[in-house]
Amino acid sequence: MKKVWLVSHYAMPPHLEVRIKTLKYAEILQNRGYDVLLITASTIHNTNINLIETKDKYVEREYNGLKYVHIKCSQYLGSGLKRIKNLLQFQRRFKSVMKNFEKPDVIIVDCNCVNYKGILSFARKYKIPFISEIRDLWPLSIVEYKNISERNPVIKYLYKQEKRMYRLSDAIIFSMEGGPQYIKEKKWDNAVDTNKVFNINNGLDVELQEKQIKECRLDDEDLNGRSFKIIYAGSIRSVNAVDALIKAAERLKNQNNIKFLIYGDGDKREELEKYCSENILDNVVFKGQVDKKYIPYICSQANINIISVKESNISKYGVSWNKLFDYMNAGKPILSTVKPNYDLLERYNCGLSLPEQSGEAIADAVLKIYNLPNEEYAVMCENAKNAAKDFDYSILTDKLIEVIDYAVKRHEEKIK
pLDDT of amino acid 19: 85
pLDDT of amino acid 226: 93
Tell me the mean pLDDT in the region 146-156.
93
- Does residue 1 register a pLDDT over 80? no
Confidence band, pLDDT 50/70/90 cuts, at residue 18: confident
Tell me the mean pLDDT in the region 49-61.
97
pLDDT of amino acid 343: 98
- Does residue 304 register a pLDDT over 90? yes
- Does residue 146 register a pLDDT over 90? no
Are the CB atoms for 338 and 315 separated by under 8 Å?
yes
146 Cβ partners below 8 Å, 6+ apart?
Answer: none
Tell me the mean pLDDT in the region 274-302.
97
Q: Which amino acid would we find at residue 166?
A: Y
Tell me the mean pLDDT in the region 175-198.
98
What domains sit in the chain, N to C, each tagged with a CATH number? 3-203+393-415 (3.40.50.2000), 206-389 (3.40.50.2000)
Of the candidates 316, 6, 274, 334, the residue with the CA atom closest to the CA atom of residue 137: 316
Tell me the mean pLDDT in the region 193-220.
97
CB atoms within 10 A of CB 333: 27
Q: Give strand ranges (E) for 289-328.
A: 304-307
Tell me the mean pLDDT in the region 6-20.
94
pLDDT, tens digit (0-9, with 9 covering 90-100), for 220-265: 999 999 999 999 999 999 999 999 999 999 999 999 899 999 999 9
pLDDT, tens digit (0-9, with 9 covering 90-100), for 315-325: 999 999 999 99
Question: 8: part of which helix (H) or strand (E)?
Answer: strand 3-8
pLDDT of amino acid 46: 86
Please tell me which residue, 191 or 79, carries the higher pLDDT value: 191
- Residues 83, 79: Cα–Cα separation, whole Å: 6
- Does residue 147 register a pLDDT over 80? yes
Axis crossing angle, helix 21-31 with helix 393-415, rounded to the nearest 10: 80
pLDDT of amino acid 288: 96
Confidence band, pLDDT 50/70/90 cuts, at residue 99: very high
Confidence band, pLDDT 50/70/90 cuts, at residue 47: very high
pLDDT of amino acid 256: 87
Q: What phi and psi values does residue 145 have, to the nearest 5 degrees? A: -90, -20
- Does residue 416 register a pLDDT over 80? no
pLDDT, tens digit (0-9, with 9 covering 90-100), for 278-290: 999 999 999 999 9
Share of the chain above pLDDT 70, in %: 100
Of the candidates 161, 62, 78, the residue with the CA atom closest to the CA atom of residue 120: 161
Q: Which of 50-64, 74-88, 172-186, 200-214 has the lowest mean pLDDT?
A: 74-88
Of the candidates 110, 97, 128, the residue with the CA atom closest to the CA atom of residue 2: 128
Of the candidates 51, 109, 50, 57, the residue with the CA atom closest to the CA atom of residue 82: 50
> To the nearest whole number, what is the mean pLDDT of the chain?
96
Tell me the mean pLDDT in the region 324-337.
98
